[in-house]
Structure 1
């Protein structure tokens, strides 16, 4: 798995922690990583960083070194700069023999990339997902402009006829009408047929709404991603296991985490979502359109200061808000739940949960820890280590419904450990770690009729 080049500093003290006594040759690795787009780097957001630590070239070398070291079989990246894709990231991944797709929202200068080793996988299907009004979840139209990707992959060794892929040295536009969509293989066409007995899976990659008040919006976006995954799976016979990867900007005690795991809607969850609707200014104009039978946020008009004029409180009555929450929650009734690959991390790495001595941490950065031992169910304490310290990134693994016993499940074989907190000081990015997020990686394997 690791390359023969010197181990990058960011990979030192990180090791694979086995959940299974034995890892078969058929196992594969999958990584998710928010790489911190340079267009989002502002000195005031990282006051603990020197100018040199935030330089693009410096950070990019550290990011490349880590990807080159691990070379995951499947790679999901978020916050990748569009301006540098064709000249930096695209050629780099192609050099490592990855096939890939890059996609970003039209009004943003960064996006997501899903990549897979060309020698390991063949792409059966691929879908770009705009998490905006083009998606309808229950009868609600999301308003934010985030994106996701969904790809269906099959093991190349399970194909009866060898396939040839064409890879461009840089990046080619996937869609001439979209400035933020690139591909490594312009000749690729969908092939929605899975050979009998072949090992295949559906992978999604997403970067959800970032704002702390956006709990409701992230719930809708996460459900939209789950919906897109289910649609791609249905086109392939509805029997493939799934991995939902990405930066969900969601803590383990947030509603999205609960609904993806198949938990029931509780009064506490409803109250959390109603509070989010009340606090998020972007949802103030949320109403029900009787003509279209849809919930949506109506356009606003700018005030004298140029800012949108918003109502003081949400226009949608609370009883209709409750109806909407219940309808959204019900959308997962027919889809198997997923579970976090890192949910057993506590028993693998108990030292991770020992707080750093305040004297060792110092006072250079006032870090806010969001870890909640009572509700995080064995999850790591963090994947982000800045002035905010919490878990926002996930690899969610799901198997086909039990009634579809012809399908395969995915077993989590091992997890990449988190670095010791002492190596992250004063916070990241720094001269060792190139992003404010840490990479997460799991070793997975196919196993018939097996829940993850």
Structure 2
């Protein structure tokens, strides 16, 4: 059984693993982290945790410690409680000299936050994205409510004239029409012009659909995020490098990972997506409406237990399912691929891939590992360490250029290592790590000479 004595973060053996020997003063850090919303914390989901480990006060202390310890230049958070934002998270980030935007889905009590150091970056543009209202295909209506954020940032030192930073002590409503949207700077206005020669980028932050069978829905949502990124980039001249961060709830052998990397549609991917359409509870009423000429999910009738009465499989004929999958995949030609910043992790930290001795792990938690060495292409074994153990969080780096080999405009210089598995026992969260997800962080630099 793991010790219940908190271990300082500095002793957790998380190191910056260097990919490039070159160092540049313009390099910056970017972190993504699902912080586990307190509204989602239930004892039955974390039976191995003590009450103290699950208390909000205990967890917030650890979460704040970790952000303060690494203090990334750009920070992307998911599953942040809305009710704790104005009184805890917002003031904490402002105290650390971050500017930030918070946005949550209209039917959820948690949301996403994207933050940047006020001394490092100036915000050129920002957009809230409702993934269920983003049309990836003109004739398909998304079924699940999730949100994303997209921000365009420019190096403050590259601005022609100094700009004052403005933050509020707490959290102000960003828009009275959006009760789940908050900002650190109510006076901010978009400035959709990038100074000549300035170092700038577009960053997205998302939290996608969680259901294990929701592969198809996550594909639609991931494409919607990428579409929103492309739209912001187009307004700015379509020349900025891109980082797509967040909890994608996607394993490296899932279709969304493949499509973001520009892989072709294969029979295996098609079969996976058809299975998802048949088994995802949100899609079991999916039909093609001939009058509206749209694929959509029809309303369901509540049963005696208050739950919707759903058919056992999709109502959509298989041929129409195939047509829908093919049409979605065809949209991928609109925007260039991205690559995972952690895709070379295996050569940097081979010890991470050595399974923990069962005797050391014990029998307190029956952990199901989802690592697939043959198809994960050097990715870490996990970013989530609960009874489910797998990689769901990513930092994807990409270019606005339509040519695959033109280069991303960003170089990955270093990666924050994953802690030794022995430090995570029996599972997360614990008194050192306040979430069931581990933070991922990369050191990036602008590439002034992209590959031809």
With structure 2 as the length reference, what TM-score do the two structures score? Answer: 0.96
User: What are structure 1's unaligned runs of at least 5 residues?
Assistant: none
Aligned counterpart, 2:4: 4
Deviation at 1:135, TM superposition (A): 3.6
Is contact 1:341-1:397 (8 Å) kept? yes
Q: Does structure 1 conserve the Cα–Cα contact (< 8 Å) formed by 2:406 and 2:451?
A: no
Contact 2:230 2:400 in 1 (8 A): no
For the 8 Å contact 1:27–1:445, the answer to whether it is kept is yes
Kept in 2, the 8 Å contact 1:208–1:249? The answer is yes
SS of equivalent residue, structure 2 residue 160: coil
Q: How many residues align?
A: 452
Task: Using the TM superposition, give the Cα deviation of residue 408 of structure 1 relative to its aligned residue in structure 2, in angstroms.
Answer: 6.5
Once the two structures are superposed, what CA deviation does each residue of 1:143-183 show, in whole Å capped at 9, x if it has no partner?
11111000000001111011123210000000111111000
Contact 1:112 1:207 in 2 (8 A): yes
1:336–1:451 distance in 2 versus 1, CA, 3 Å: farther
CA distance in 2, matches of 1:262, 1:138: 22
Give, in angstroms, the shift of residue 7 of structure 1.
9.6
Instruction: State the SS of the aligned residue for 2:406.
Output: coil
1:84-118 CA deviation, whole Å, 9 max, x = no partner? 10000000000000000000011111000000000
CA contact (8 A) 2:136 2:223 kept: no
Are the equivalent residues in 1 in contact too, given 2:405–2:451 (CA < 8 A)?
no
Q: Counterparts of 1:399 and 1:12 in 2: how far apart (Å)?
A: 34
User: Structure 1's 451 and 285: CA in aligned 2 closer, same or farther, altered over 3 A?
Assistant: farther
- Do residues 276 (structure 1) and 302 (structure 2) align? no
CA gap 1:138/1:20 in 2 versus in 1, 3 angstroms: farther
- Whether the aligned pair in 2 keeps the contact of 1:11 and 1:66 (CA below 8 Å) is no
**Cα distance in 2, alignment partners of residues 407 and 311 from structure 1:** 47
String of CA shifts for 1:239-265, please: whole Å, max 9, x gaps. Answer: 111000000000000000000000000
Q: 1:320 to 1:290 in 2, by over 3 A?
A: same
Q: CA separation in 2, counterparts of 1:8 and 1:195?
A: 43
Greater mean deviation of Cα atoms: 442-451 or 61-70:
442-451
> 1:447 offset after TM fit, Å?
0.7
- Pair 1:413–1:164, CA change in 2 (3 A): same
Assess, with a 3 A threshold, how the Cα gap between structure 1 residues 5 and 301 changes in structure 2: closer, same or farther: closer
Residues 337 and 404 in structure 2, CA contact (< 8 A), matched pair in contact too: no
Encode CA deviations 1:253-307: one digit per residue, 9 max, x unaligned: 0000000000000000000000001111221111122333321111112234432
Shift of the alpha carbon at 1:402? 5.8
Q: Are residues 275 and 31 of structure 1, via their aligned partners in 2, closer, same or farther at CA, if it must alter by over 3 Å?
A: same
* Counterparts in 2 of 1:43 and 1:118: CA distance versus 1, 3 Å: same
1:448 Cα shift? 2.8
Q: Secondary structure at the match of 1:322?
A: helix
Distance in 1, Cα, partners of 2:3 & 2:246? 24
What is the CA distance between 1:443 and its match in structure 2? Answer: 0.2
**1:4 Cα deviation after fit:** 26
The question of whether the paired residues in 1 share the 8 Å contact of 2:287 and 2:296 is answered with: yes
- Summarize the Cα distance change of 1:371–1:3 in structure 2 as closer, same or farther, 3 Å threshold: closer
Deviations 1:194-231 (A, max 9, x none): 11111110000000011101111111111100010010
Q: Deviations over 1:22-52 (max 9, x none)?
A: 2211100000000001110000000100000
Counterpart-to-counterpart distance in 2, 1:448 and 1:373: 34
TM-superposition CA deviations, 1:118-151 (whole Å, max 9, x none)? 0000000000001113544353211111110000
CA distance in 2, matches of 1:232, 1:335: 12
Structure 2 equivalent of residue 298 of structure 1? 298
**Does the 8 Å CA contact 2:26/2:445 hold for their aligned counterparts?**
yes
Deviation at 1:451, TM superposition (A): 6.0
* Residues 1:304 and 1:365: Cα distance change in structure 2 (over 3 Å): closer
**8 Å contact kept, 1:2–1:70:** no
Q: Aligned partners of 2:11, 2:132: CA distance in 1, in Å?
A: 37
Q: Post-superposition shift, 1:406? A: 10
Specify whether residues 346 and 118 from structure 1 end up closer, same or farther in structure 2 by C-alpha distance, changes over 3 A only.
Answer: same
Question: Does structure 2 conserve the Cα–Cα contact (< 8 Å) formed by 1:239 and 1:408?
Answer: no
CA deviation map 1:395-424 (0-9, x unaligned) = 000023166999970000000000000000
Moved over 4 A (4+): 1-7, 402-408
Q: Which residue pairs with 2:78 in the alignment?
A: 78
Superposed displacement of residue 309, structure 1: 2.4
Contact kept? 1:240, 1:407, Cα under 8 Å:
no
Structure 2 Cα separation of the partners of residues 11 and 195 of structure 1: 43
Q: Distance in 1 between matches of 2:277 and 2:136?
A: 18
Q: Distance in 2 between matches of 1:405 and 1:236?
A: 22
SS of equivalent to 1:405: helix
Q: Determine if contact 2:242/2:397 at 8 Å carries over to the other structure.
A: yes
Alignment root-mean-square deviation, CA: 3.3
Question: How far is 1:59 from its partner?
Answer: 0.7
